[in-house]
């Protein structure tokens, strides 16, 4: 009996067959010509996917938290001021990481869960002190709140602070234009919209970020995350020269190169549009079922992720019934509302049929949980957007 369910969580996501084949290919030496070529190509392609022609990519074995750690450890020195635009769980994490490396952290918090801090409040904070770095969580995986990265980055540039974007739940799905928007460093993890199994931390640092790193007066406090080791390795592979510092995760990097090739074949504009379209369809379905969402308005919500509240009388046991119908969804993550909502990831290789399958399974779950609604209304509403 086939026991495979559709994975619609905010990472790991469903990966393409070509990516999974690269995962299972006999591992080559890290200096083998076919690996050197793939690694070099993956680095070049990262620049294109991040839309940052002047950026320096880093690909290192680790989770998304290592990518955040790499940003903070390399850019911040003890005593530097950092501003965290906090939209949830991962804003808290960035504040903790920055603090670890000696930064004095100021946070601008959203007025409520599901909201984002208004631009004028962020601007007021920026005007009050000279911040070395400002961090923004593009899509908070815990709430599906999308920050106005373009507006915030423009502010950051105006006030002369480095703009760091945690794009873990956004890069290669949510619209993000690193260079055009003035983002100095963007980061993500492999298992989200980049479309590769978990295990890679991915960073693209622009020229201003690299300058700040090169002008450090103190050593990077984190040894493993220190660009001093990784920069020569990334440069060597991009020049198709084998190099060694630590053994790179060969199969994950092969898979990354395959996935980046597929992303660029679709094209970034088409990819952003598809994510928007499928997100609209899913959200229309959810709304037609009478469910509200954590983000407070349409301009606050991600296209990679949807976070509906359970309706009155329904709780997390509903997700078990959704699973019976063949779809895996994720529970809540934000500590204050954890038990009140669930999360649907829809990024990467996600297709219209995945959206319909998901809504069908949600309808099944709601019905099993005893919720009173017009069966089929979600599917019909989603189908109208897809048509």
The residues of the shown chain that bind a copy of itself, judged by CB under 8 A, are 4, 7, 9, 11-12, 14-15, 20-21, 23-32, 60-66, 69, 72-73, 96-97, 100-101, 189, 191, 197-199, 219, 221-225, 229, 244-252, 328, 330, 333
Q: Are 327 and 320 in contact (CB under 8 A)?
A: no
Cα gap 188→199, rounded to integer Å: 11
Residue 12 vs 365, nearer CB to a copy of itself: 12
**Which residue, 23 or 337, is less far from a copy of itself as judged by CB?**
23
Question: Please, what's the b/e burial string for 318-345 (b: 16 or more CB within 10 A of its CB; e: otherwise)?
Answer: bbebbbebebebbebbbeebeeebbbbb
Q: Supply the minimum distance, in Å, between the C-beta of residue 157 and a copy of itself.
A: 27
Assigned token pair, 155: 């502010």
CB of 304 to a copy of itself, least distance (A): 15
Both structure tokens of 107: 């946070």
> For the purposes of burial, counting CB atoms within 10 Å of the CB of 217, is it exposed (0-12), middle (13-18) or buried (19 or more)?
exposed
CA distances from 42 to 53, 109, 240, 372 (A): 14, 36, 11, 50
**Token duo for residue 265:** 């074949």
- Residue 280 CB, shortest distance to a copy of itself, in Å, is 25
CB of 186 to a copy of itself, least distance (A): 18
Can you tell me which residue has the tokens 């938290």? 65
117 or 197: CB nearest a copy of itself: 197
Q: Which is nearer to a copy of itself, 198 or 376 (CB)?
A: 198
* Least distance in angstroms from the C-beta of 73 to a copy of itself: 7
- Residue 332 neighbours by CB under 8 Å, 6+ apart: 142, 307, 316, 338, 339, 340, 341, 342, 343
- Which is nearer to a copy of itself, 72 or 366 (by Cβ)? 72
Q: How many alpha carbons fall within 13 Å on the CB side of residue 317?
A: 7
Q: Smallest distance, Å, CB 221 to a copy of itself? A: 5
Question: In angstroms, how far apart are the furthest CA atoms of the chain?
Answer: 64
State which H helix or E strand residue 187 sits in. Answer: strand 185-189
| Distance from the first to the final alpha carbon of the chain | 34
Nearer to a copy of itself, 5 or 208 (CB): 5
State the minimum distance, in angstroms, from the CB of residue 97 to a copy of itself.
5
Q: Which is nearer to a copy of itself, 22 or 186 (CB)?
A: 22
What's the min distance (Å) between Cβ of 120 and a copy of itself? 32
Cα distances (Å, whole numbers) of residue 136 to 126, 176, 293 = 13, 12, 21
Q: Measured from the CB of residue 151, what is the shortest distance to a copy of itself in angstroms?
A: 29
Toward a copy of itself, which CB reaches closer, 155 or 258?
258
Decide: 83 and 135 in contact? Cβ < 8 Å: yes
Q: Which is nearer to a copy of itself, 281 or 319 (CB)?
A: 319
Strand-pairing partners, residue 61, are: 200
């Amino acid at each position: 009996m086939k026991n495979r369910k559709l994975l619609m969580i905010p990472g790991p996501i469903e990966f393409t067959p070509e990516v999974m084949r690269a995962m299972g290919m006999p591992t080559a030496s890290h200096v083998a010509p076919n690996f050197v070529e793939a690694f070099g190509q993956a680095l070049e392609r990262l620049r294109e996917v991040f839309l940052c022609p002047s950026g320096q990519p880093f690909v290192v074995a680790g989770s998304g938290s290592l990518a955040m750690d790499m940003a903070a450890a390399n850019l911040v020195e003890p005593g530097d001021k950092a501003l965290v635009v906090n939209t949830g769980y991962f804003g808290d994490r960035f504040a903790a990481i920055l603090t670890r490396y000696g930064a004095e952290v100021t946070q601008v918090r959203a007025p409520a869960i599901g909201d984002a801090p208004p631009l004028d409040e962020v601007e007021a904070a920026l005007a009050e002190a000279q911040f070395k770095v400002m961090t923004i969580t593009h899509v908070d995986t815990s709430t599906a709140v999308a920050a106005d990265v373009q507006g915030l980055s423009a502010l950051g540039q105006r006030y002369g602070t480095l703009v760091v974007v945690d794009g873990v739940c956004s890069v290669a799905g949510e619209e993000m234009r690193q260079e055009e928007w003035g983002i100095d460093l963007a980061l993500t993890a492999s298992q989200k919209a980049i479309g590769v199994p978990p295990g890679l931390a991915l960073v693209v640092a622009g020229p201003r970020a690299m300058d700040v790193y090169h002008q450090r007066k103190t050593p990077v406090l984190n040894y493993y995350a220190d660009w001093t080791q990784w920069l020569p390795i990334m440069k060597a592979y991009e020049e198709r020269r084998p190099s060694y510092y630590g053994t790179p995760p060969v199969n994950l990097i092969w898979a990354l190169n395959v996935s980046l090739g597929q992303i660029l074949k679709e094209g970034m504009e088409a990819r952003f549009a598809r994510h928007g379209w499928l997100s609209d369809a899913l959200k229309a379905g959810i709304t037609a079922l009478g469910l509200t969402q954590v983000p407070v308005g349409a301009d606050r919500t991600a296209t990679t992720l949807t976070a509906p509240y359970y309706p009155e009388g329904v709780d997390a046991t509903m997700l078990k019934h959704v699973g019976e119908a063949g779809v895996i969804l994720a529970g809540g993550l934000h500590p204050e509302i954890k038990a009140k909502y669930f999360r649907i990831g829809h990024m990467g290789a996600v297709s219209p049929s995945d959206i319909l399958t998901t809504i069908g399974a949600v309808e099944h779950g709601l019905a099993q949980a005893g919720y009173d609604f017009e069966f089929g209304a979600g599917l019909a509403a989603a189908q109208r957007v897809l048509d």
